[in-house]
């Protein structure tokens, strides 16, 4: 087998079974973003309240992510033990990276357009930064209150460029939660107690 064939085979194995987990994670983000936007709109007059409600929306989002990927890990363990699949310790992280690919794209575009627009004052770069910031704020609505609280008003120059790093930083909790959640599910370890089914 040629090296290129081996690389393609390994890539297929890593992506095998990723469709459903990634869809679940993205749907969870959409739901949490809508909740975050509603809470942020209701608490807009108070910066502190906006921050607190944003934290609640983030916790809800990460809880949904954790429970979804935990179930994937638990099901994968059954398949691995039954000899129907190979173990993939990094599946939770891989799924999180794929699900967060729009967030990563928006973050990179915001940083690049801002880094170009601030020193050059080119209109197209500034407009691009504003457009992609708006889209990112919609798609990651649960973080709006935190972003408003962390980034002070009236930034200029280098401060404005550095502040865009927050759009990368807010992706990290999802990556960590999915990495840990998948392994916890795979090992059948629970943080949250199992819900008992009613007879």
Handedness of CA 91, 96, 97, 99 (dihedral sign): positive
Has residue 8 been placed in a domain? Answer: no
Has residue 59 been placed in a domain? Answer: yes
User: What's the CA gap between 104 and 114, in Å, rounded?
Assistant: 15
- Model confidence at 7: pLDDT above 50: no
Q: What average pLDDT is seen over the chain?
A: 89
**Which comes out higher in pLDDT, residue 160 or 13?**
160
- Model confidence at 198: pLDDT above 80: no
CB 95 within 8 A of CB 22: yes
Has residue 38 been placed in a domain? Answer: yes
Has residue 197 been placed in a domain? Answer: no
Has residue 191 been placed in a domain? Answer: no
Q: What is the pTM for the complete model shown?
A: 0.85
Burial of 56 (0-12, 13-18, 19+ CB in 10 A): middle
Domain count, the chain: 1
Mean pLDDT is highest, among 10-14, 100-104, 147-151, for 100-104
* Domain span at 22: 18-186
């Amino acid at each position: 087998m040629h090296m290129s064939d081996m690389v393609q085979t390994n890539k297929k194995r890593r992506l095998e079974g990723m469709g459903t987990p990634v869809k679940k994670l993205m749907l969870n983000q959409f739901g949490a973003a809508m909740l975050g936007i509603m809470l942020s709109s209701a608490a807009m007059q108070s910066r502190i309240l906006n921050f607190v409600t944003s934290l609640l929306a983030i916790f809800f989002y990460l809880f949904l992510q954790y429970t979804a990927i935990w179930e994937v890990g638990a099901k994968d363990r059954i398949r691995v033990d039954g000899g129907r699949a190979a173990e993939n310790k990094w599946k939770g992280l891989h799924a999180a990276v794929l699900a967060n690919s729009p967030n990563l794209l928006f973050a990179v575009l915001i940083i690049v357009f801002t880094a170009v627009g601030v020193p050059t004052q080119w209109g197209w770069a500034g407009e691009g930064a504003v457009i992609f910031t708006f889209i990112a704020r919609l798609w990651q609505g649960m973080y709006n209150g935190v972003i408003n609280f962390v980034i002070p008003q009236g930034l200029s120059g280098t401060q404005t460029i550095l502040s865009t790093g927050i759009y990368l930083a807010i992706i990290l909790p999802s990556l960590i939660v999915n990495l840990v959640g998948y392994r916890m599910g795979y090992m059948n370890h629970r943080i949250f107690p199992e819900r008992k089914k009613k007879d």
